[in-house]
């Protein structure tokens, strides 16, 4: 007699099976709403049936079959009621039943899930809608939780998701199995979206907030992608990068929620487990000898993680990695980041020289003026530093950033009144 | 008599545990560990399979991911303490020459308690 499973256990199985099941149902129905409804119906039936009959051996297959059949029944009933021809819209697809059954065992969900994530990243959708949609559809987060994560009302989030779905319904979703080039393109888009999810959570000072939990969700999605596509070095790099950044979660904000700079963080608060896993991922990725932006950024974060004290940091190594990043993904922001390594290696004047050409492209960028102000302050060019910090404070993205800059300004103000230049 | 108790679970599920849920499971396990402390020898928690690589012995190539074939059976395991991944692979390659056929999966260890009774301190590798 099988033990009836605990309700918690059922929920865990449903959450775990969700990406696979929704992805397969999307391939079958070619419609996001239908796929989601079919999955929800299957979950309802699971909650009723599993405690009585025991859990199925493969929860995802069970949910796909039950969800698919329920949706087809529903369609047929609707067709009869409205007197339409009794030809279910979905029944004439060439890739339906026999193939479906085979695929359930073949663990060939890879492209389904990749497609599901890819669909959420449609280029017509703004980044925030991409993330919201992926969290709703792939991760299955309830709308109130997503709304809380984005600090907007539930109704607004509901509308945002509905609009995003409508946009996608009009787009051509590619349903053929992708070739290697397309797959690589999808991979890059999906990786970028996963990192957006992470960054959304990363900015939150409260580690138990809904928003901060997005970091865990992003890591979970990256692990999911890697289980499906184990040989993708950039996905390994992304997972390592997120694990390393997330390892500093408890050290990145002080008790008042103000950000603590890397140099000033209490390194004993860094999560050694996440660091260890990230270093293992980087080792694996390196075997492929296909460096890319995520791997390089992860390698930079790893050099910070390896330094037990701030002064042990391998700044020469970090500078070299930033130079590599400038070649792979040139951007003024990368050069701005490299200036910190140059400052540590060659002093503030050299760093200031490096960032001088960035003044125009990064004029509207908070961190540029913050870094510049800092360097000028160190060189004793206080009045220029004040101007840079004033510019930064006007561009601050969060109250905490503004407070941080305000401290610099107050310090400079104090020096001015005591007679320093 | 010594036994190994090998732990299996669905990673789709374990990887969706929150940190709090994960800690709860570990705490529940610790109660059992404490009760049987004198019987426990090494206790090992492995990293997720996403951190694994596999040396296919007959081809002498390293592939990403865990060993996932179904024809072969798990026959034993080694715990090695090394300075780098390369050394671990080197050891595996030398063992493969001594004992060809099948595969060695290299899986980093997340938590390692050499003696069960030391369960309260959590050394990381």
Are A37 and A59 contained in the same domain? Answer: yes
Average pLDDT score, chain B: 88
The structure tokens listed for B52 are 């694994």
For A281, the closest chain B residue by CA position comes to B51
A208/A252 same-domain check:
no
- B108/A276 touch (CB, cutoff 8 Å), yes or no: yes
Are A267 and A215 part of one and the same domain? no
Q: Is residue A100 part of a domain?
A: no
Q: What is the pLDDT of residue A152?
A: 87
The mean pLDDT value for B31-57 works out to 92
Segment A376-398 shows an average pLDDT of 93
CB of A177 closer than 8 Å to CB of A115: no
Label residue A1 by pLDDT band (50, 70, 90): very low
Quote the pLDDT of residue A362: 94
- Cβ-based contacts of B19 with chain A (< 8 Å): 216
- Pick from A270, A192, A267, A183: which is nearest to A229 by CA? A183
* Co-location of A388 and A317 in the same domain: no
Pairwise CB contact (< 8 Å): B47 & A280: yes
Please write down the long-range contacts of A2-8, taking CB distance under 8 Å and 24 or more positions apart.
A2/A54, A2/A55, A3/A54, A4/A51, A4/A52, A4/A54, A5/A50, A5/A51, A5/A54, A5/A55, A7/A47, A7/A51
Under the banding of pLDDT at 50, 70 and 90, the label for residue B13 is confident
Please list every residue in chain B whose beta carbon sits closer than 8 Å to the beta carbon of residue A216: 18-19
Q: Are residues A146 and A210 in the same domain?
A: yes
pLDDT of residue A71 exceeding 70, the answer is: yes
SS3 category, B114 = coil
pLDDT at residue A183, rounded to an integer: 84
Banded model confidence at residue B117, pLDDT cuts 50, 70, 90: low
Q: How confident is the model at residue A4 (pLDDT cuts 50, 70, 90)?
A: low
B30 CA: distance to closest CA in chain A (Å): 18
Three-state SS at B28: helix
Q: Are residues A226 and A237 in the same domain?
A: no
Residue A105: the pLDDT is 43
Instruction: Say if residue A103's pLDDT is above 80.
Output: no
Whole-number Å distance between alpha carbons of A102 and A259: 52
Distance of CA B87 to the CA centre of its chain: 17
Would A196 be classed as within a structural domain? Answer: yes
Of residues B68 and A417, more confidence is placed in B68
Q: What is the pLDDT of residue A125?
A: 86
A283·B85 Cβ contact <8 A? yes
Over residues A92-104, mean pLDDT: 44
**A135-185 per-position pLDDT tens digit:** 988 888 889 988 888 888 999 999 999 998 888 888 777 777 788 888 888
The answer to whether the CB of A323 falls within 8 A of the CB of A338 is yes
Cβ contact A362:A332 at 8 Å: yes
Task: Report the complex ipTM.
Answer: 0.86
Q: Which of A226, A273, A283 sits opposite B50 (nearest CB)?
A: A226
- Average pLDDT (A12-22) is 87
Q: Are residues A356 and A305 in the same domain?
A: no
Q: Percent of chain A, pLDDT > 90?
A: 49
Domain hosting A282: range is 233-330
On the question of pLDDT at A260 being above 70, the answer is: yes
Question: Does residue B84 belong to the interface with chain A, where contact is any CB pair within 8 Å?
Answer: yes
pLDDT, position A419: 59
Contact B63 A231 (CB under 8 A): yes
Residue A344, pLDDT > 70, answer: yes
* pLDDT tens-digit map of B24-40: 888 899 889 888 988 99
- Higher-pLDDT residue of A268 and B114 is A268
- Is residue A257 left, alpha or beta, with left meaning phi > 0 and alpha meaning psi from -120 to 50? left
Domain assignment of residue A162, yes or no: yes
DSSP 3-state of B42: coil
pLDDT at position A174: 73
- pLDDT at position A336 is 96
C-beta separation of A74 from A89 below 8 A:
no
- What's the CATH code of the domain at A419? 1.25.40
Q: Which DSSP letter does residue B117 get?
A: G
Residue range A391-399: mean pLDDT, rounded: 88
Q: CB A227 to CB B111 under 8 A?
A: no
Does the CB of B49 have a partner CB in chain A at under 8 Å?
yes
pLDDT of the residue at A145: 87
pLDDT band at A314 (very low <50, low <70, confident <90, very high): very high
Q: Using alpha carbons, list the distances in angstroms from residue A386 to A108, A368, A402, A409, A414.
A: 59, 14, 14, 6, 12
Indicate yes or no: CB of B84 within 8 angstroms of CB of A283: yes
CA dist A177 and B16 (Å) reads 28
Three-state SS annotation for chain A: CCCCCCHHHHHHHHHHHHHHHHHHHHHHHCCHHHHHHHHHHHHHHHHHHHHHHCCCCCHHHHHHHHHHHHHHHHHHHHHHHCCCCCCCCCCCCCCCHHHHHHHHHCCCCHHHHHHHHHHHCCCCCCHHHHHHHHHHHCCCCCHHHHHHHCCCCHHHHHHHHHHHHHHHHHCCCCCCCCCHHHHHHHHHHHHHHHHHHHHHHHCCCCCCCCCCHHHHHHHHHHHHHHHHCCCCHHHHHHHHHHHHHHHCCCCCECCCCCECCHHHCCHHHCCHHHHHHHHHHHHHHHCCCCCCHHHHHHHHHHHHHHCCCHHHCCHHHHHHHHHHHHHHCCCHHHHHHHHHHHHHHHCHHHHHHHHHHHCCCCCCCHHHHHHHHHHHHHCCCHHHHHHHHHHHHHHCCCHHHHHHHHHHHHHHHHHHHCCCC
Residue A337 lies in a domain: no
Would residue A103 count as lying in a domain?
Answer: no
* Percent of the residues in chain B that have a pLDDT greater than 70, as a whole number: 93
Residue of A17, A216, A273 lying closest to B124 (CB–CB): A273
Q: How far is A152 from chain B (nearest CA, A)?
A: 24
Residue B125 scores a pLDDT above 50: no
Backbone φ, ψ for residue A253 (5° rounding) = -130, 145
Cα-Cα-Cα-Cα torsion A301, A306, A309, A313, nearest 10 degrees, comes to -60
CB B117 within 8 A of CB B38: yes
Let me know if residue A343 belongs to a domain. no
- Average pLDDT on A204-210 reads 83
pLDDT at A329 over 70: yes
Residues A115 and A151 in one domain: yes
**In contact, A312 and A344? CB cutoff 8 Å:** no
Same domain, A226 and A240: no
State the pairing for strand pair B103-106/B53-56: antiparallel
Give residue A53's pLDDT: 86
Domain annotation covers residue A95: no
Question: Is pLDDT at B69 greater than 90 in this prediction?
Answer: no
The structural domain count of chain A equals 4
Q: What does the buried/exposed string (b/e) look like for A352-390 if buried means 16 or more CB atoms within 10 Å of the residue's CB?
A: bebbeebeeebeebbebbbbbbbbbbeeebbebbbebbe
Secondary structure class of B51 (helix, strand, coil): helix
Q: Is the pLDDT of residue A409 over 50?
A: yes
Q: Which residues of A touch B17 (CB under 8 A)?
A: 12
Same domain, A212 and A257: no
* A340 found inside a domain: no
Q: With contact defined as beta carbons under 8 Å apart, do A297 and A241 qualify?
A: yes
Q: Is B125 on the interface with A (CB under 8 A)?
A: yes
CB contact under 8 A, B124 and A227: no
A253 lies in the same domain as A325: yes
Q: Is the pLDDT of residue A101 over 50?
A: no
Q: Is the pLDDT score of A3 beyond 70?
A: no
Which residue from B16, B65, B124 is facing A16, i.e. has the nearest CB? B16
Q: Tell whether B97 lies on the interface with A, counting CB pairs under 8 A.
A: no
* Closest to B17 measured CA to CA, from A15, A59, A240: A15
Interface test with A, best of B9, B10, B12 (most A CBs within 10 A): B12
Residue A93 is predicted with a pLDDT of 44
Shared domain check, A241 and A217: no
In the predicted model, is pLDDT for residue A100 greater than 70?
Answer: no
């Amino acid at each position: 007699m099988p033990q009836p499973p605990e309700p918690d256990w059922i929920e865990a199985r449903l959450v775990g099976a969700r990406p696979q099941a929704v992805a397969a149902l999307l391939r079958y129905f070619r419609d996001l709403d239908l796929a989601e409804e079919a999955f929800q119906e299957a979950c309802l039936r699971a909650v009723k049936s599993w405690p009585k009959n025991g859990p199925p051996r493969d929860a995802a297959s069970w949910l796909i079959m039950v969800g698919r059949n329920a949706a087809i029944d529903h369609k047929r009933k609707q067709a009869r009621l409205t007197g339409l021809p009794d030809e279910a819209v979905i029944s004439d697809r060439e890739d339906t039943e026999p193939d479906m059954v085979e695929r359930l065992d073949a663990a060939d969900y890879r492209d389904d899930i990749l497609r599901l994530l890819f669909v959420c990243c449609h280029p017509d959708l703004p980044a925030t809608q991409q993330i919201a949609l992926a969290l709703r559809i792939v991760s299955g987060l309830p709308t109130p939780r997503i709304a809380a994560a984005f600090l907007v009302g539930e109704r607004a989030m509901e509308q945002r998701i509905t609009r995003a779905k409508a946009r996608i319904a009009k787009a051509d979703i590619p349903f053929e199995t992708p070739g290697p080039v397309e797959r690589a393109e999808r991979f890059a888009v999906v990786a970028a979206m996963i990192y957006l999810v992470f960054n959304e959570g990363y900015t939150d000072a409260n580690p138990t907030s809904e928003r901060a939990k997005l970091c865990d969700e992003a890591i979970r999605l990256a692990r999911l992608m890697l289980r499906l596509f184990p040989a993708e070095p950039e996905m390994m790099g992304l997972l390592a990068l997120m694990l390393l950044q997330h390892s500093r979660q408890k050290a990145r904000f002080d008790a008042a929620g103000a950000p603590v700079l890397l140099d000033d963080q209490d390194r004993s608060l860094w999560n050694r487990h996440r660091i260890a896993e990230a270093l293992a991922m980087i080792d694996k990725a390196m075997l492929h000898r296909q460096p890319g932006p995520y791997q390089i950024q992860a390698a930079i974060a790893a050099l910070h993680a390896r330094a037990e004290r701030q002064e042990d940091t391998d700044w020469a190594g970090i500078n070299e990695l930033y130079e590599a990043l400038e070649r792979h993904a040139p951007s003024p922001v990368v050069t701005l980041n490299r200036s910190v390594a140059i400052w540590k290696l060659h002093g503030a004047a050299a760093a200031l020289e490096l960032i001088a050409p960035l003044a125009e492209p990064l004029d509207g960028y908070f961190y540029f003026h913050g870094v510049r102000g800092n360097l000028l302050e160190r060189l004793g060019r206080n009045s220029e530093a004040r101007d840079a910090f004033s510019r930064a404070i006007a561009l601050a993205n969060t109250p905490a950033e503004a407070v941080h800059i305000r401290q610099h300004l107050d310090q400079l103000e104090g020096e001015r009144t005591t007679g320093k230049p | 008599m010594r036994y190994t108790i090998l732990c299996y679970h669905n990673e789709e599920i374990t990887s969706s545990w929150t940190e709090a849920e994960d800690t709860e499971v570990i705490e529940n396990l610790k109660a059992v560990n404490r009760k049987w402390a004198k019987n426990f020898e090494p206790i090992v928690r492995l990293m997720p399979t996403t951190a694994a690589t596999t040396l296919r012995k007959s081809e002498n190539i390293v592939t990403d991911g865990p060993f996932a074939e179904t024809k072969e059976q798990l026959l034993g395991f080694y715990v090695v303490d090394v300075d780098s991944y390369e050394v671990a692979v080197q050891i595996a390659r030398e063992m493969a020459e001594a004992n060809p056929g099948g595969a060695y999966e290299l899986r980093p260890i997340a938590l390692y308690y050499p003696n069960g009774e030391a369960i309260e301190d959590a050394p990381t590798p």
